[in-house]
Amino acid sequence: MPATMTTAAAADTSASEKPPSGADHSERVKAGTALFRKSVRQILVDRCLSCHGGDSLEGEFNLATREALLKGGEKGPAIIPGKAGESRLYRMITHAEKPPMPYDEEKMADDEIAAIAKWIDLEAPYDKPLVEGGVELKDWTERTIENDAKDFWAFRPLNSAQAPEFDHDDWSQTDIDRFVLRALQNKAIKPNDVADRRVLIRRTYFGVIGMPPEPADLQRLMSDQSPDWYEHMIDELLDSRHFGERWARHWLDVARFAESHGFEQDYNRDFAYHYRDFVIKAFNMDMPYDQFVKWQLAGDEIAPDDPLALMATGFLGAGVFPTQLTENEFEPARYDELDDMVSTMGTAMLGLTIGCARCHDHKYDPIPAADYYRIVSTFGQTIRSNIEVELNSAETKQAIAKWETDHKPIADQLREFEERELGSRFDAWVASDALDELTSSQNPEWLVLHVANAKSAGGATLSVQPDESILATGTNPDFDSYTFTADTYLRDIRSLRLEALAHESMVKGGPGRASNGNMGLGTITVTAEPLSGESKPIAVKLTNPRATFEQNNGNLSIAASIDSSKNTGWAVDPQFGKDHAAAFDFAEPVEFAGGTRLIVTLSFNVNNKHNIGRARLSISNKANSPALDAESQPQAVAELLDLIASGEIPKNGPRRVQLMSWYRTRDPEWQKLSAAVAEHNQLKPKPNLATVMVSSEGVKPIKHNADGRGFPHFYKETFFLKRGDSTQKLRTANPGFLQVLTSADDIDQRWNVAPPDGWHTSYRRRALANWMTDADGGAGHLLARVIVNRLWQHHMGRGIVSTPNDFGKQGELPSHPELLDWLAQQLIDANWRLKPIHRLILTSSAYQQSSAYDDRRSTIDPENRWLWRREPRRLEAEVIRDAMLAVSNQLDRTQFGPGTLDPSQKRRSIYFMVKRSQLIPMMQVFDSPEPLASVGNRPSTTIASQALMFMNSPQVREYAGGLAARIRSAGQSDIVDQAYLSGISRKPTHVERASAEAFLKTQSTSYQSDGRSVDDSDRLALTDLCQTVFSLNEFVFVD
C-alpha cells in the first residue's frame, strides 16, 4: 500500500533525527529490559529467531542482537525505538504490513503482540544477544542440514518390518493383505470378500491395459475352470503390448509430457514423441525402474549407442520454453528452464518439491537453496537437440558385419583381376586395332573431361556415368552446389563447355531436379592448379557465355551465371527433356607443364531444388571459341592417342593409373566383375535413421527465434542466485546432491564417473542418476517408495501416500507405512522390475475386494483409507475413448510413431499429439491435465460437457455406429445382450432387456416414419442404443 510506505519512510527519518534521551529514557530502558527478560526474549526466540538470525537470515534481517535489529533487513530498520506503532516489526506481526509474520505460521497471541509493542515503546532494550556468543551465520550457499532433518519418515532407510501373522485369517492371500488386515483390525472393521469374477475381469483389464475384455475373452475367462485362472489372466495382461500404453500415460502426466514449446508461438516439437514411445516400450519390456530413471536423466551418457536411452532424455526437455525472447530475458528464461527440469525430476522421481528451494531454503523440507542450485548446475549445460539416431544400431551393425564378410570375396576377385590381369590386357588392347574405332573423329574440338571426384555440398549422390556425365540422385537439397575435379594433360586450355543433359530419373526428363524439371545455375567458377603442386591455383576468369537455350536473356540467362549475383543464372524452362549446353572462354589460356587439375564449382541458388541432374564438362584448346555442338572426344582417348603418337605409354605412375581407369570400363571381364561388386553393394544394409529430440550437452541446439539476437541456449556456469534472481549472482554453483538423501560418505568413488577423453558431455547427470538410484547411500530408497506408491495409487484408487508428488512434510503421511516400505524393498529385491510389484498388488485380496458398501464401516472409515472395500472409479479420459473404440471394433492398434491432433483418428488416445495450445477437447473434458507441471493425481469431475460429449460428439456417434455394425454383422438375434456384453461385460437384466427392446422398437418406428427403410431404421435404432450403452454409468465407472 503506497500510503503505508510513505508513512513508514517518514517515520524512519524522524527516528534517526530525534534520538531519545533523558532520565525518562533510562527508566524506560530499565522497564524494557525487565520485560525483555520476562517474556519478549522467549517470544523472539520461539517465533522469530530461526529465520532471522538463528539458522537463516530471511530478508537479510537478523534480530539476534539489538544492533542488528536496529539496522534491519533489506526493507530497512525493523523498529523505531519508542514507537511500536510505526515499527515495521510490529506492523508485520499485527499483519498491518506484508508479509505477515511469523511467516506461514499462526499469528502471535494478542498478549505476545502486546508485550512486544510495549517493549518497543520502552526502547526495545536487550540484556544480551538472543544467541550466546553472538551469531556467525554461514553463507547460505554453504549451508548444511541438521542431522535430525533426516529423521523424517520419507528420508529414513526402508523399514524392514515383515507382514504380521494372524491365527485366524481366511481373507489374506498375500503379505500385502496381512499388512492391510492389521490396519483394518486396528479400526475393528472387516474387509470385503473377493468380487465376482466378471467384476474382477473388467476391473483388471481396465487397470492393466486400459481396455475392456473382448466378449470372447470374457467368455473364455468366465468358463476357465483352472484354480489359477486369475493369475494366468494377470500374466497375459501384463504381457500385453497394450500394458505399456496404459501405464505410460500415468507416467506422462508425471513427466508433464508435451510435444510443443508453449508460450508465444507454441511451435511443435516434431521429434518429441520418441520419449512417449520410450516410456511405452520400457514398461512393456519391464525395464528395471532404476534404469528407467537413470536413462531419463542421463541416457545419453550411460548408453549413448542405445536409441531408447537417447529417447529417454526427452524427459528433461519436455517442459515449456519461450520461443520469443529479448536480451534481458535470455538468462532468466534459462534459469526457468533449469528449474523446470529440477522441479519435475524432484516431484516425479522423489516426490519432493525441490523447486520450492529456488528463492530461499525450502520452507518445510530440509532442502537448502544451496542444494537446489547444486542440482541445477548439474543440468547447466544440458539443452534440447534434434539428432539423427540409428534406431537399430545393434541389428544394423550385425547386418553390416555379415554383409562385409559376404562382400570380401566378390571385391577381392575384382581387385585381384585389376592387379594381375588388367595391365597386360590393356597393353594387348593398345596393340590391337580396337583403338581405331575410337578415333573416328578427325578433328575433335571438345575434350570430354573425366571427373575423378564429384562432391555435392547438400548430400546428393553424384556418380560418373560411362559417357562421363555426372548423374545426381538421392537427396535433392534446396540449394545444392557441386564441385567437380578433373585432371588433364591438355595444353593451352581456352574454353569450357558445361552440358546439362536430360535423364529419365528427373521430372519431365530434366535437365534440372526441380519439381518441373528445371534447373538454375546461380554461379559457375573454375580453378586451375598444377598437378605438380609447384605453383598456386589460378581462379579462371570466364568470358563469352553462350548456351543452346536460355529461359530469358536477363536473370535466367547463361550470362547471369557468371555475374555477381548468386541468385540469378541459367535456366531452361520450358525446354525440358532435352540436352542443353553452355560454354565459356577463358580470359587467359591455362596450362601447366606436367598436367593441370581443373576444379569446377556449380552452385544452384536461383530457386529451391533447381539443381542440375546430369552434367558433363568438356574443355577445348581451340582459339576459335568452338561451337556448342562441335565434335567431341573423351579426354582419355585423346590423351592416349597423344601418348601413342609420342610412342611412350607409361608403364606406371599416375598417367598409367588414369589410363587404366578409363580403359577398364571397356574391358568385358572387368565389366562383369565390377557389376558383381556393384550389385552386391546395393545389398548393403542401410542404417535406420530417425530424428529424435534428446537432452544432452555439446549438441546443436534447436533453432530459436532469438538466435539472431545472440541467444546462447545455455551458460557455461551456473550461479547461486539470491532470491532466484539471475541478476543477483553470488558465486559459481557446482554439481551436488540433496544432503537429506545422501548417507554415503564415499561420494566421489560411488557416483562420480569421469567421461572418456574427447567425450562431448560432462557426466554430471550420470553422477546424479547414480545417486538417485542408490538405495543404500543415495536417494534410491525414496525413489522406490515413490514409484511403488504410484503403482498402488493407480491400482487401488489412492496412494498409500495420498499426495503422490509430495512425500515431504506438507504431504500426507502414509496410511500403511510398513506396507509401503515392504513394497519398496520388494521392488529393489526384484532388481527394480515393476511387473512383479504389479503382480503382488493384483493378486492381493485387498485389490480383489468387492465394492459392496456398508453403512457401519463407512461411518468408521468414510474415506476408505483402510481399504475395507473397493471404491468404484471413473475411467480416465483416454480409457473412456479407447474403450469405446475397442468395443466398436474400430480401434487401430498401430503402436508408436508421430501422433496427430485429428480428433477422428482411431489409434489409442496416447497417440494424440500433445500440443500445449491445442489439447484434445475430448481428453480435457475428462480431466486430462494441462502438461505444464508434473501431475500425480488427476481430479475426477462430473460436468455437463462430459454428458454433451456422449450425447452429441460425432466421434461417439461414430463409435456407436461401429458397435451397432459389429453386432448386426454377427447376425445373432439377442442384439441387446450383445450390446451389453460388448459394452459393460455382462448381460442385461430382464428389466433392462425389456426397456432396451421397447426402445429399439420406438426408435425404429420413428426412423421409419421419416421414410427410412426398415433395415436402415433398425440400424439407427441400434446405434441409438449403443450410444446409450456408452453413456451408462456402468460404462465409465468400474467397480
Q: Using CB under 8 A, which residues numbered 944 to 1003 contact other proteins?
A: 944-954, 957, 989, 991-992, 995-996, 999, 1002-1003
Does residue 152 touch other proteins according to CB under 8 A? no
The single residue among 29, 744, 933, 965 that binds other proteins, judged by CB under 8 A, is 933
The single residue among 202, 616, 857, 874 that binds other proteins, judged by CB under 8 A, is 874
* Pairwise CA distance, residues 310 & 626, whole Å: 59
Does residue 789 touch other proteins according to CB under 8 A? no
Which CB atom, from 52 or from 764, has the smaller least distance to other proteins? Answer: 52
Q: What x/- string results for residues 332 through 351 when contact with other proteins is judged by CB under 8 A? A: ----x------x---x----
* Touching other proteins, residues 293-322 (CB under 8 A): 320, 322
* Touching other proteins, residues 503-532 (CB under 8 A): none
Does residue 96 touch other proteins according to CB under 8 A? no
Does residue 364 touch other proteins according to CB under 8 A? yes
* Pairwise CA distance, residues 926 & 501, whole Å: 62
Which CB atom, from 229 or from 263, has the smaller least distance to other proteins? Answer: 263
* Pairwise CA distance, residues 700 & 718, whole Å: 20
Closest distance to other proteins from the beta carbon of 716 (Å): 23
Judge whether 230 and 238 are in contact, CB under 8 Å: no
* Pairwise CA distance, residues 901 & 320, whole Å: 19
Strands 446-448 and 632-634, by their bridges, are parallel
Does residue 353 touch other proteins according to CB under 8 A? yes
Closest distance to other proteins from the beta carbon of 154 (Å): 12
* Touching other proteins, residues 883-922 (CB under 8 A): 916-919, 921
Does residue 941 touch other proteins according to CB under 8 A? yes
Which CB atom, from 574 or from 921, has the smaller least distance to other proteins? Answer: 921
Judge whether 117 and 40 are in contact, CB under 8 Å: no
CB count in 10 Å sphere of residue 700: 11
Closest distance to other proteins from the beta carbon of 334 (Å): 13
Quote the DSSP letter at residue 73: B
Judge whether 877 and 252 are in contact, CB under 8 Å: no
* Pairwise CA distance, residues 162 & 179, whole Å: 9
Judge whether 792 and 799 are in contact, CB under 8 Å: yes
* Pairwise CA distance, residues 704 & 702, whole Å: 6
| φ/ψ of residue 344, rounded to 5 | -65, -40
Which CB atom, from 376 or from 837, has the smaller least distance to other proteins? Answer: 376
Which CB atom, from 544 or from 900, has the smaller least distance to other proteins? Answer: 900
Does residue 356 touch other proteins according to CB under 8 A? yes
Does residue 325 touch other proteins according to CB under 8 A? yes
Angle at 939 between CA 938 and CA 941, to 5 degrees: 140
3-class SS of residue 678: helix
The single residue among 162, 328, 665, 972 that binds other proteins, judged by CB under 8 A, is 328
* Touching other proteins, residues 243-272 (CB under 8 A): 262-266
Which CB atom, from 873 or from 907, has the smaller least distance to other proteins? Answer: 873
Q: What distance, in Å, lies between the first and last C-alpha atoms of the chain?
A: 55
* Touching other proteins, residues 540-559 (CB under 8 A): none
Does residue 859 touch other proteins according to CB under 8 A? yes
Q: Where are the beta strands (DSSP E) in 23-153?
A: none
CB count in 10 Å sphere of residue 286: 20
Closest distance to other proteins from the beta carbon of 264 (Å): 4
The single residue among 383, 514, 935, 963 that binds other proteins, judged by CB under 8 A, is 935
Which residues, including other chains, have CB under 8 Å from residue 393's CB and lie 6 or more apart?
A: 305, 306, 307, 687
Quote the DSSP letter at residue 570: B
Q: How many residues contact other proteins, by CB under 8 A?
A: 94
Stretch that binds other proteins, among 153-161, 529-537, 731-739, 940-948 (CB under 8 A): 940-948
Does residue 107 touch other proteins according to CB under 8 A? no
3-class SS of residue 143: coil
Residue 339 has, within 13 A of its CA and on its CB side, a CA count of 22
Which CB atom, from 264 or from 669, has the smaller least distance to other proteins? Answer: 264
Stretch that binds other proteins, among 228-236, 327-335, 373-381, 567-575 (CB under 8 A): 327-335
* Touching other proteins, residues 1000-1039 (CB under 8 A): 1002-1003, 1006-1007, 1020, 1023-1025, 1027-1028, 1031-1034, 1036-1037
**Residue 168 corresponds to which amino acid?**
H
Which CB atom, from 335 or from 446, has the smaller least distance to other proteins? Answer: 335
Torsion region of 25: left, alpha or beta (phi above 0 gives left; psi -120 to 50 gives alpha): alpha
The single residue among 18, 30, 38, 98 that binds other proteins, judged by CB under 8 A, is 98
Residue 289: alpha-carbon gap to chain centroid = 18
Q: How much of the chain is helix, strand and coil, in % rounded to 5?
A: 45, 10, 45
Closest distance to other proteins from the beta carbon of 230 (Å): 24
Which candidate, 67, 685, 638, places its Cα nearest to that of 394?
A: 685
Strands 596-603 and 523-530, by their bridges, are antiparallel
Q: What x/- string results for residues 791 through 830 when contact with other proteins is judged by CB under 8 A? A: ------------x-xx-x-xx-------------------
Q: What x/- string results for residues 654 through 693 when contact with other proteins is judged by CB under 8 A? A: ----------------------------------------
* Pairwise CA distance, residues 154 & 782, whole Å: 6
Does residue 186 touch other proteins according to CB under 8 A? no
The single residue among 329, 331, 573, 977 that binds other proteins, judged by CB under 8 A, is 329
Which CB atom, from 417 or from 792, has the smaller least distance to other proteins? Answer: 792
